[in-house]
């Protein structure tokens, strides 16, 4: 049987707010934890919404994480920062020491931060009043020419269009002491391979170490992914998607049976991508419609006031 839980619970998690601890438990038919085996985990992002896009449009509907972790006392756990709102899909395949396989798919819903909806409402209301006061200001008792209205709407559209700056990608590859940390050139919307390996051999075999791996978003100062003291036989690789075009630091600390700590670290710049038109046009159309409604309301109000004064 495969089960999962998050700490804190899913209903308390918000996009890009805090990293959640995800715990996968694997038990046999009697409920006893399976001691030996491994778990293959794949996490897919929510599909695009019907109108408003999320903060990271290229993440929507893509693969976020793909990794294989060894079972410890019948469970595996890691930390992960969910980047966007929506329903995530996590596929778990557990394989025991006797090659018995069991798999299960979990759906995890992450709701948007209430503050963001409040700010969206205030911003929309502000656009309406902007159009309203502009309508009153530029409206006289005579009709405003169509050219002036077109010019006003063109200027208004400039205020609601945004551009997302693109970054650069680089490949991190450095050997520090006896360990090597390799990171393929990351790109938003695609998985990037992260590989850590230990060069030291013990009796012709790579030594088993307790590996801690952490990925940190430098601008936000947030941990977006972490593994703590995972027993690794000299090598670990996983596929991870960096959700936005920014700088990240990948840190790896290997504990050699409490005798020595081997540290590896890389700072990478993720290659950002301009948001697609499908993500920006609906919002722009809505905001222009709100401004136009405010403009029309302001013009109507000014005319009504002028008419009442004339009477």
Q: Do the bridges between strand 205-206 and strand 192-198 make them parallel or antiparallel, or are there none, so unpaired? A: unpaired
Give the torsion sign (CA, 15, 167, 264, 197). Answer: positive
Q: What are phi and psi of 232, to 5 degrees?
A: -130, 135
More confident residue, 238 or 140: 238
Q: What is the pTM of this model?
A: 0.74
304-308: list long-range contacts, CB under 8 Å, 24+ apart.
306/140, 306/141
- pLDDT tens by residue, 12-40: 999 988 899 999 999 887 888 888 889 99
* Confidence band, pLDDT 50/70/90 cuts, at residue 115: confident
Q: Please tell me what DSSP assigns to residue 143.
A: P
For residue 225, which of 186, 182, 194 has the smallest C-alpha distance?
194
Query: Which pLDDT score, from 0 to 100, does residue 240 have?
Result: 96
Assign domain 1-112 one CATH number from 1.10.10.10, 3.40.50.10540, 2.60.40.1940, 3.40.630.10: 2.60.40.1940
Assign domain 165-273 one CATH number from 2.60.40.1930, 3.20.20.10, 2.30.40.10, 2.40.50.430: 2.60.40.1930
First to last CA, the chain: 81
For residue 257, which of 202, 192, 302, 184 has the smallest C-alpha distance?
202
More confident residue, 117 or 266: 266
- pLDDT tens by residue, 167-194: 333 333 333 447 899 998 888 888 999 9
| 1-112 and 165-273, same CATH topology | yes
For residue 24, which of 95, 122, 114, 99 has the smallest C-alpha distance?
95
């Amino acid at each position: 049987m495969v089960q999962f839980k998050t700490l804190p619970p899913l209903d308390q998690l918000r996009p890009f707010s805090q990293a959640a601890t995800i715990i996968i438990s694997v038990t046999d038919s009697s409920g006893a934890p399976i001691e030996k085996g491994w778990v293959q985990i794949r996490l897919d992002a929510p599909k695009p919404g019907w109108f408003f896009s999320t903060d990271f449009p290229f993440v929507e509907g893509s693969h976020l994480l793909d990794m294989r972790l060894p079972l410890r006392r019948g469970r595996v756990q890691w930390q992960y920062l969910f980047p966007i709102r929506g329903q995530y899909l996590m596929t778990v395949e557990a394989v025991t020491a006797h090659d018995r396989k069991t798999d299960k798919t979990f759906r995890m819903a992450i709701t948007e931060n209430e503050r963001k909806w409040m700010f969206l409402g205030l911003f929309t209301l502000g656009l309406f009043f902007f159009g309203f006061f502009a309508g009153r200001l530029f409206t006289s008792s005579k009709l405003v020419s169509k050219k002036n209205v077109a010019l006003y709407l063109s200027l208004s559209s400039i205020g609601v269009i945004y551009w997302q700056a693109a970054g650069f990608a680089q490949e991190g590859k450095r050997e520090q002491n006896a360990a090597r940390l390799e990171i393929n050139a990351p790109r938003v919307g695609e998985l990037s391979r992260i590989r850590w390996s230990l060069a030291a051999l013990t009796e012709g075999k790579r030594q088993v170490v307790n590996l801690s791996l952490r990925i940190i978003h430098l601008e936000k100062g947030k941990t977006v992914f972490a593994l703590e003291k995972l027993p690794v036989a000299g090598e670990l690789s996983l596929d991870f998607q960096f959700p936005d075009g920014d700088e990240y630091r990948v840190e790896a600390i290997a504990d050699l049976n409490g005798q020595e700590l081997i540290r590896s670290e890389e700072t990478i710049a993720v290659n950002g991508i301009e948001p697609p038109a499908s993500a920006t046009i609906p919002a722009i159309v809505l905001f222009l419609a709100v401004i136009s409604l405010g403009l029309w309301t302001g013009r109507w109000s000014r005319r009504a006031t002028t008419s009442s004064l004339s009477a």
